[in-house]
Structure 1
Amino acid sequence: MTYRARHTEREDLLGPSAATGRDSVPGRGEFLEFLGLTSAAAAFVLFVVRPEVSEGLVRALASRASAFVH
C-alpha cells in the first residue's frame, strides 16, 4: 500500500500567497479559464471554417517582420 500524506492545516493547502492578493477573488480563475477556452475554440472554428483568415494572418505577420528588417 502507498502512504498518502494529508495536510492537517488549511494554510498548508492554500499557501501564504493565496490568502491575500489577486488569487483570493472567488470565481476569478474559473471565469478567466472559461474566457480563454472560449476564445481558443472560436479561433479554431474560424481557422477551420475560413482558412483564408490564417493566410491573411501569416501575410500580416510576414509584412510586419519585414518592416522590422528594413
Structure 2
Amino acid sequence: MTHRARHKETEDFLGASADVPGRDAAGRGEFLEFLGLTLAAGAFVLFVVHPEVSEALVHALAARTAAFVH
C-alpha cells in the first residue's frame, strides 16, 4: 500500500503571484518566453522569405571579425 504525503498549507504560505495584490496572473517569465518565441518565429520567417538576409548577416559578421583581427 502506498502512502501519499499531504501538504499542509500554513497561514504564512505565500500564494501564487496571481494571489498577490498588484500582480497580474501572467508572470514576467511567461511574458519573456512569449517575446522570445515571437522573435525566433519572426527571424525564421524572415530567413525563409528572404534568404539573402542570412547571407548579408554572415557577410557582416565576417567583415567585423576580420576588422578585429587586423
Q: TM-score, normalised by structure 1?
A: 0.65
Larger Rg over CA atoms = 2
Equivalence map 1:1-70=2 (5 Å): 8=7, 27-70=27-70
Give CA-to-partner distance per residue, 1:16-55, whole Å, 9 cap, x none: xxxxxxxxx7610110000000000000000000000000
Greater than 4 Å deviation, 4+ residue runs? none
RMSD: 2.9
| Larger helix percent | 1
**Cα distance, 1:8 vs structure 2:** 3.2
C-alpha separation between the residues in 2 aligned to 1:53 and 1:28? 32
Runs of 5+ consecutive residues of structure 1 not aligned to the other structure: 11-24
Task: Report the counterpart of residue 14 of structure 2 in structure 1.
Answer: none
For the residue of structure 2 that corresponds to 1:46, the secondary structure is helix
Q: TM-score, normalised by structure 2?
A: 0.65
Q: Percent identity?
A: 68
Q: Highest relative contact order (Cα 8 Å, sep 6+), 1 or 2?
A: 2
Runs of 5+ consecutive residues of structure 2 not aligned to the other structure: 10-22
